[in-house]
Chains A and B, each alone.
Chain A
């Protein structure tokens, strides 16, 4: 006899058809309401990922990649020789946010490593939190890990997917709020790796990846006209316009005075220019060929690198077209009049010498020479500053401008034009040590010391230990290694570099 309460196979299948509706979350974003505007100015930091100054026309690049941004520079301080402290997101962003060199904050390894525990509260958000509301957003998952570390001082931390076309990450779910770094190292970087091999999940991962690729290819097809090379993505796909719209909506509703940090993924690889910019730089100028460096990992051909550089430039132009709406909004809304707006990059991009992108052990100009623009509400005209400066200078300068104490820990100096000295021969470091353990002495890596016009680069690897020495004034493309011929100047800088390295390595022996 069948009981009325028996569940038949057919009933079960009917019920199962309702399961997909459980996958339709509609998370509501909540922004703080406007509060009374006080005397304190807002500080808005806009970071464009992998944005090299060597590809921007107002720094001397032959292609007009950013005409829209240039229109807004009438009252800005434009730094022509500004340098990132690291060559990829983790060290570059950490230095920008802490005012510390990578060998001090120790976030220089490739992967999920963050700032060392002893330094984790030494950051820009902690500096501004007592007087400003703080808001942080990044599309870059590795930068987001750093923001998770700093979350104690962040009033509003928007998730990576806040303005994206999709949300995929698990580590930044509220469930893992207190353990985002380890959750990322476990879930995203091990169990469900998105683009790598050796995932720890045998069954779920491949199925998940196929579904993801399928969905992303469907999105690519859907937006084929707007994005002929596919949609931009850092695991989560996004549209440039949506990202800018999201940022504008956030800027329109934050609590003032605010310290706001927006770290946008463009123009990071994969280069996904808008359709109208596709082919914009075909023909005409192209970069000269440079010899493949002995430490090149990619060994890409000149032809391929030329194509990559063209795609990169088209993508920068596309981003310029969209992001200029933020500057227009800041101007039209009056926010520009009550805010210091900083525009910079975490690191640059290097499509030369056989290398592609920024996964490299080289430290040449395109990889560390990044834009720095500061919009000063009290400025009456444009200032062009040619003194070499570093990413570690940004935090002390912003604190100074906001009338806050300059953090004692910061290793940077005040930027010239905002209280700092014009010291052309100061020492500026940049480094790459992605394969060196964070909690060990630096024994594998590349360290660059610049004392304008000289750059000494120290390649310190077990199978390749060498120095290179360049005159940036007469050889800005860094093609003539002067190390053997200019030994006197090189030796002075070598002693300084080795001394600094010994100092920072000391506590780890």
Chain B
């Protein structure tokens, strides 16, 4: 009988490395594009009171935070895959994980706008019905999409091809995030 390495069964519960890379590419694309959009939105006001060096430093903070956020989101997806029975999420992780990121990302965009309007008008917490209702709608939408993608091979292949192309952003954004971490480190060790 072969001797199992410690944690080997644990390791098996995680998706294949290539699937993880596909999902990470999608997460990086969505998180970083949103961060850059936020930076550009604030750029004109930053110009009012910061010099170019400080503005670049702000950009570095954004990139570093986006890297940590991307790792966190990917980590959460891996954790879900780890905790759920493998056929639920681990199998077909590249497609299911990416769809989960797309749906939850869209929900977060909607939620940010909603929170802003709530706070602007009456500083009230959104009702539980709204929040849970939104979560349920998002979840049902995700299930429908997963079902659709599993049944229609063309869509699945298109999605995988798209994810494959998104991986290029890992090579663009992740180094920027690492550079951002270095900049933050050096600005704070003085």
Beyond A198-B38, A214-B125, is A7–B10 a contact (Cβ under 8 Å)? Answer: yes
Tell me whether B58 is interfacial, beta carbon within 8 Å. yes
Q: Which of A1, A217, A270 contacts B4 (CB 8 A)?
A: A1
A122 vs B66: C-alpha distance when bound (angstroms): 37
Q: Which of A13, A107, A198, A213 contacts B41 (CB 8 A)?
A: A198
**Listed residue (B45, B49, B73, B104) with the most chain A CB atoms within 10 angstroms of its CB:** B49
Which residue on B lies nearest to A230, using beta carbons? B123
**Minimal beta-carbon separation of A366 from chain B (angstroms):** 24
Q: Quick check: which of B90-98, B113-121, B142-150, B163-171 contacts chain A, the rest being far away?
A: B113-121
Which residue on A lies nearest to B49, using beta carbons? A113
Tell me whether A81 is interfacial, beta carbon within 8 Å. no
Complex contact B10–A6 (CB within 8 A): yes
Q: Which of A107, A200, A214 contacts B39 (CB 8 A)?
A: A200
**Minimal beta-carbon separation of B119 from chain A (angstroms):** 5
**Minimal beta-carbon separation of B2 from chain A (angstroms):** 9
Complex contact A199–B184 (CB within 8 A): no
Complex contact A209–B7 (CB within 8 A): no
**Minimal beta-carbon separation of A298 from chain B (angstroms):** 13
Tell me whether B50 is interfacial, beta carbon within 8 Å. yes
**Minimal beta-carbon separation of B118 from chain A (angstroms):** 9
Tell me whether B47 is interfacial, beta carbon within 8 Å. yes
Residues of B within 8 A of A12 (CB): 82-83
Tell me whether A124 is interfacial, beta carbon within 8 Å. no
Which residue on B lies nearest to A439, using beta carbons? B51
Complex contact A191–B7 (CB within 8 A): no
Tell me whether A89 is interfacial, beta carbon within 8 Å. no
Residues of A within 8 A of B57 (CB): 179, 182, 186
Tell me whether B152 is interfacial, beta carbon within 8 Å. no
A178 vs B57: C-alpha distance when bound (angstroms): 13
Residues of B within 8 A of A217 (CB): 125
Residues of B within 8 A of A181 (CB): 54
Complex contact B30–A186 (CB within 8 A): no
Residues 153-188 of chain B, each 1 if its beta carbon lies under 8 Å from chain A, else 0: 000000000000000000000000000000010011
Residues of A within 8 A of B51 (CB): 439
Q: Quick check: which of A56-64, A328-336, A430-438 contacts chain B, the rest being far away?
A: A430-438
Residues of A within 8 A of B10 (CB): 6-7
Tell me whether A303 is interfacial, beta carbon within 8 Å. no
Complex contact B48–A437 (CB within 8 A): yes
Complex contact B69–A203 (CB within 8 A): yes
Complex contact A177–B48 (CB within 8 A): no
A188-219 residues with Cβ-Cβ distance < 8 A to B are 189-191, 195-206, 209-210, 213-214, 217
Complex contact A6–B6 (CB within 8 A): yes
Which residue on A lies nearest to B31, using beta carbons? A202
Complex contact A182–B61 (CB within 8 A): yes
**Minimal beta-carbon separation of A156 from chain B (angstroms):** 20
For the complex, would chain B's binding face be called helix, strand, loop or mixed by DSSP majority? helix
Tell me whether A176 is interfacial, beta carbon within 8 Å. yes
**Minimal beta-carbon separation of A94 from chain B (angstroms):** 12
Complex contact A200–B4 (CB within 8 A): no
Residues of A within 8 A of B104 (CB): 203
Interface size counted on chain B using CB atoms at 8 A: 54
Q: Which of B34, B50, B61, B83 contacts A113 (CB 8 A)?
A: B50
Q: Which of A3, A195, A200, A203 contacts B62 (CB 8 A)?
A: A200
Residues 107-133 of chain B, each 1 if its beta carbon lies under 8 Å from chain A, else 0: 011011101100100010110000100
Which residue on B lies nearest to A198, using beta carbons? B41
A362 vs B40: C-alpha distance when bound (angstroms): 30
Which residue on B lies nearest to A189, using beta carbons? B42
**Minimal beta-carbon separation of B80 from chain A (angstroms):** 12
**Minimal beta-carbon separation of A113 from chain B (angstroms):** 2
Complex contact A203–B108 (CB within 8 A): yes
Tell me whether A139 is interfacial, beta carbon within 8 Å. no
Tell me whether B17 is interfacial, beta carbon within 8 Å. no
Complex contact A2–B9 (CB within 8 A): yes
Residues of B within 8 A of A178 (CB): 187-190
Complex contact B72–A204 (CB within 8 A): yes
A270 vs B123: C-alpha distance when bound (angstroms): 11
A177 vs B31: C-alpha distance when bound (angstroms): 27
Complex contact B115–A210 (CB within 8 A): yes
A183 vs B64: C-alpha distance when bound (angstroms): 12
A201 vs B123: C-alpha distance when bound (angstroms): 21
**Minimal beta-carbon separation of B130 from chain A (angstroms):** 11
Tell me whether A112 is interfacial, beta carbon within 8 Å. yes
A168-183 residues with Cβ-Cβ distance < 8 A to B are 175-179, 181-183
A185 vs B42: C-alpha distance when bound (angstroms): 10
Tell me whether A162 is interfacial, beta carbon within 8 Å. no
Complex contact B58–A186 (CB within 8 A): yes
Complex contact B49–A112 (CB within 8 A): yes
Complex contact A210–B131 (CB within 8 A): yes
Beyond A5-B6, A197-B112, A200-B38, is A210–B61 a contact (Cβ under 8 Å)? Answer: no
Beyond A182-B57, A200-B35, A201-B69, is A190–B6 a contact (Cβ under 8 Å)? Answer: no
Q: Could you tell me which B residues sit within 8 Å of A by CB distance?
A: 1, 4, 6-10, 30-31, 34-35, 37-39, 41-42, 45-51, 54, 57-58, 61-62, 65-66, 69, 72-73, 82-83, 104-105, 108-109, 111-113, 115-116, 119, 123, 125-126, 131, 184, 187-190
Pairs A–B under 8 Å by Cβ, sample size 18: A3-B9, A7-B10, A110-B48, A176-B188, A181-B54, A182-B57, A182-B61, A189-B42, A190-B39, A190-B42, A191-B62, A198-B38, A200-B39, A201-B35, A201-B66, A202-B35, A210-B126, A436-B48
Q: Could you tell me which A residues sit within 8 Å of B by CB distance?
A: 1-3, 5-7, 9, 12-13, 107, 109-114, 175-179, 181-183, 185-187, 189-191, 195-206, 209-210, 213-214, 217, 270, 435-439
Nearest 10 A-B pairs (CB), nearest first?
Answer: A113-B49, A200-B38, A186-B61, A197-B116, A202-B34, A109-B49, A5-B6, A109-B48, A179-B187, A213-B125
